Amino acid sequence: METALHSLAEISALERQAMLERLAGTLVRNAQWAANEGDDGLEMVMISVGKAIMSVADDLAHCDVALAEDVASRALTLIATFHCRHPHYPTGPAVH
């Protein structure tokens, strides 16, 4: 039986880095949607945080696991805020 991860400390540094980079990419992508919807404040915060995470993901993942966990938690909170403010954002697969 597999158990759920309880912290980023339980995965390798490369997996932590990939997770942080994925969160950063999600923030930047969602920021574009927020901008298109006229939500300029959320767009500015999300793009700034996303770019900041992307620029330090490697260092955080390898040097400061506790800070990486805090950053990931805050990124997830921003993503949740985005989805609360923009519930019509497509989250599943789409056929184009």
Whether 90 is covered by a domain: the verdict is: no
Is residue 5 in a domain?
Answer: no
Mean of all residue pLDDT scores within the chain: 90
> Considering the domain boundaries, does residue 43 fall inside one?
yes
Neighbours of 62 (CB within 10 A): 14
* Residue 30 counted as domain residue: yes
Q: Domain for residue 45, yes or no?
A: yes
SS (H, E, C) the chain: CCCCCCCHHHCCHHHHHHHHHHHHHHHHHHHHHHHHCCCHHHHHHHHHHHHHHHHHHHHHHHHCHHHHHHHHHHHHHHHHHHHHHCCCCCCCCCCC
pLDDT tier for residue 56 given thresholds of 50, 70 and 90? very high
Reported as a pLDDT band with limits 50, 70 and 90, residue 94 is: low
In a domain, 94, yes or no: no
Q: What is the pTM of this model?
A: 0.85
Domain count, the chain: 1
* Domain that residue 73 falls in: 12-85
